[in-house]
Amino acid sequence: MAVTINTLREYKEKGEAFSALTSYDATFAQVVSEAGVDVILIGDSLGMVLQGQSSTLPVTMEHMVYHTSCVAQGNKGSLIMADMPFMSYGTIPDALDNAAELMRAGAHMVKLEGTDWMRDTIEALSERGIPVCAHLGLTPQFVNKFGGYKVQGRSEKAAEAMIEHACELEAAGADVILLECVPAPLAARITQAVRAPVIGIGAGCDTDGQVLVVYDMLGLTTGRKPRFVKDFMAESRSIPEAIAAYAKAVKERTFPAEEHTFKA
Ligand code: KIV
Ligand code: NA
């Protein structure tokens, strides 16, 4: 049966972890979905891993629509989440038009990076039938404001603000929250504070779901390997086997382990 937003909500209610991976093409989408990974993310990380850019900022709507339609062709029942690229949701009319394009290309949900300023945008999308994932914490489209890729929410003040933003965005209609590079105790607090399923990357083992960039979990990290990445290829004989091992490790909550986690 195809994974829907209701499937993710049921996982959260039952306390069962679920997995997500990025894909950018039909072949990976098919392998990832057949391995039982619940969510496929067409991440704007494609700017880095496919295009060789040094950030996600050069990624355009045209790129995202193309890769979303490729993934949709290969998908066998996972929930397809597509990133809205940099400045494609700067205004509400832009957000509506651009999200609609991603949905027409085959996405089931769109993901936006930001904080409380996205409240009205998320409300407008949600009211018109577009499910939204709100991405908080280390939001790579903000790299120039952050002055680098750094763990977010380390001070109590920043932690409180992130909890508040997650709650506000859920109230505005966000169906899923994604937390990137936040201390595990903060991710656990946010996961408890909202009813929406929470997906983590570098956010410890207490979120409802986990996500990784598929190239990273296959050992294809070209730069410095982030702390939260595990190479599942090291213990597997094939790519489908490595992806299945990742899905199983997430379900069993053996990934992420302490060594992949930011404690504070
Ligand atoms: O673009 C991406 O791949 C992402 C994940 C790392 C969450 O946003
Ligand atoms: Na992204």
Rounded distance, CA 70 to CA 147, Å?
33
Rounded distance, CA 62 to CA 52, Å?
17
User: Could you tell me which of 22, 110, 38 has the C-alpha nearest to residue 78?
Assistant: 38
- Cα of 186 to ligand 2 centre, how many Å? 21
- Cβ–ligand 1 contact at 233 (below 6 Å): no
pLDDT for res 204 = 98
182-220 pLDDT tens trace: 999 999 999 999 999 999 999 999 999 999 999 999 999
Mean pLDDT, rounded, for 207-236: 96
Task: Give residues with Cβ within 8 angstroms of 143, minimum separation 6.
Answer: 55, 57, 149
In the predicted structure, residue 113 carries a pLDDT above the cut 90: yes
Residues in a beta bridge with 132: 110
- Does residue 180 carry a catalytic annotation? yes
pTM (two decimals): 0.98
Mean pLDDT (the chain) is 98
Does the model's ipTM exceed the 0.95 cut?
A: yes
Q: Please tell me the number of Cα atoms within 13 Å of 194 on its side-chain side.
A: 32
The one catalytic residue in 180, 241, 252, 258 is 180
In the predicted structure, residue 223 carries a pLDDT above the cut 90: no
- Residue 233 DSSP code: G
The annotated binding site is made up of 44-45, 83, 111, 113
Sketch out the chain's domains with CATH numbers.
Answer: 5-260 (3.20.20.60)
pLDDT for res 16 = 98
121-154 pLDDT tens trace: 999 999 999 999 999 999 999 999 999 999 999 9
- Cβ–ligand 1 contact at 201 (below 6 Å): yes
pLDDT for res 264 = 82
Rounded distance, CA 169 to CA 171, Å?
5
